[in-house]
Homo-oligomer: A and B are copies of this chain.
Amino acid sequence: MAKIHEVAEAAGVSISTVSYALSGKRTISAETRRRIEQAVRELDYRPNAGARMLAGRRTNIFALTEPFRADTYAPAHMAFVLATSIAARRYDYDVLLLTEEQASAGMRRVARSGLADAVLVLDVAPDDERVELARHLDIPSVFVGVPNDHDGLVCVDLDFEAAAGLAVDRLADAGHRTIGLLGHPAAAYHRSNFPPRVRAGFERRARERGLADTVELPEFGGARRVAVRAALGVLLDRGVTGIVLHCDEEAHVAALDELAARGLRVPDDVSVVSVGSTFDTSSMQPPLDVLPLVPQASCDLAVDLAMQLLSDAVPPPGVRLVAPVYHDHGSVAPPGRR
């Protein structure tokens, strides 16, 4: 592996000139820069990561903490990991994956050994052990998700509350007076930070719009579809004509199946809006209106903030909410014959 010394020699300059040419922290004459770039190319030179970490201030690595649990919903989490990785590469950063059970141990280890410049915290629980740790870490961190106690933290997330509110608005505007929320299993409301926010947004806006609302949280488990069917039954028994879905893909499919099985058409008989989904609802049967959760949006912003935290223009702590966008696929209509 070529070293900076060889590049300098090949270009006929000193190693410091090579270093500055590569980092851009000094103005280099066009001719010199050209020769250096050529030497770099010919030698396929890449600065040694260890040397760079040691001499410079940067590791060019983000630690990504995402404690995988048995009940982790893989597709969504993987989407976030991928989005983070892509976002990081925009700044020539790599991502070190921390998946340990005890997330704190990994964060502490990485921070104290100077392996990463910052920590990106995913899969945030309402009451997350990493919150307290983040406050005392010697490197900055950005949370993708909003824990209950986020004092002094930098957080990024979709504005789930607003998303749920917009979904309710859409139904209310279409004339629905009785609506329902089909949510995640109850346990998710303690484990994840966003289901409660969707629920709160749903209930608040329903109240504001004077709608009758019902929330059902079908359980996971062997007979998932049975639970979804029962939940839908409850909603329909209460006269619900508009449904907000905030659950995983499987529950979406099960709900649509159940509506079809009952002979209810969307949107003629029942209107449906999906909130905070990471999967594609536009190719479902029927396509569903959705206010999606876009991992890349949150992760791009999170990485941008991390970079700022590493600069001299440190942004203030606080929660940055990404505005939800409504995608119309024709699953909402005025209440029908039911």
A interface residues (Cβ-Cβ under 8 A, vs B): 1, 44-54, 59, 61, 64, 68, 72, 74-75, 77-79, 81-82, 85-86, 89, 94-100, 109-110, 112-115, 138, 222-223, 283-285
Residues of B within 8 A of A49 (CB): 50, 53, 59, 113-115
Q: Take A48-B113, A49-B114, A109-B46 as given contacts and tell me if A61 and B96 are in contact as well, using a CB distance cutoff of 8 Å.
A: yes
Query: CB distance B138 to A1 under 8 Å?
Result: yes
A283 touching B222, Cβ below 8 Å: yes
A252 to B59, alpha carbons, bound, how many Å?
Answer: 45
B112 touches A1 (CB 8 A): yes
Which secondary structure characterizes the binding site on chain A? mixed
Chain B residues near A222: list those with CB within 8 A.
283-285
A95 contact from B52, B96, B112, B113, Cβ within 8 A: B96
Most buried by B among A50, A74, A82, A114: A50
Shortest CB distance A279–B (Å): 10
Given A48-B53, A51-B53, A75-B75, 8 extra CB contacts under 8 A: A49-B50, A49-B53, A49-B115, A61-B96, A64-B97, A68-B78, A86-B99, A96-B97
Q: Which among B45, B52, B96, B110 is the interface contact of A50 at CB below 8 angstroms?
A: B52
Contact A223 B285 (CB under 8 A): yes
Is there contact, CB below 8 Å, between B89 and A50?
no
Which of B59, B77, B113, B284 meets A78, CB within 8 Å?
B77
A178 to chain B, nearest CB (A): 31
Q: Which residues of B contact A109 (CB under 8 A)?
A: 46
Closest to A112 in B: B46
A110: chain B residues at CB < 8 Å are 94
Smallest CB gap from A78: residue in B: B74
In Å, the complex CA distance between A196 and B177 comes to 54
Closest chain B residue, CB of each to CB of A45? B112
Nearest to A54 among chain B residues (CB) is B50
User: Whole-angstrom distance from the CB of A263 to the nearest CB of chain B?
Assistant: 18
- List of B residues within 8 angstroms of A54 by Cβ: 48, 50-51, 53-54
Chain B residues near A48 (CB-CB < 8 A):
53-54, 113-114
**Cα–Cα distance between A61 and B61 once the two chains are bound (Å):** 12
Q: A50-B52, A75-B75, A285-B222 are in contact. Are A115 and B86 (CB under 8 A)?
A: no
User: Is B114 touching A1 in the complex (CB atoms < 8 A)?
Assistant: yes
Q: How far is the CB of A303 from the nearest CB of chain B, in Å?
A: 14
Closest Cβ of chain B to A130, distance in Å, is 17
In this complex, what residue of B is CB-closest to A76? B74
CA separation between A59 and B115, bound complex, in Å?
10
Q: Give the residue name and chain of the B residue nearest to A81 (CB).
A: B97
Determine whether the beta carbon of A82 is less than 8 Å from that of B53.
no
Given contacts A1-B114, A50-B53, A52-B50, contact A97 B85 (CB under 8 A): yes
Residues of B within 8 A of A81 (CB): 81, 97, 99
> Who on chain B is nearest to A86 by CB?
B99
A308 CB, min distance to chain B CBs, angstroms: 22
Chain B residue numbers with a CB within 8 Å of A52 are: 50
Residues of B within 8 A of A98 (CB): 85, 94
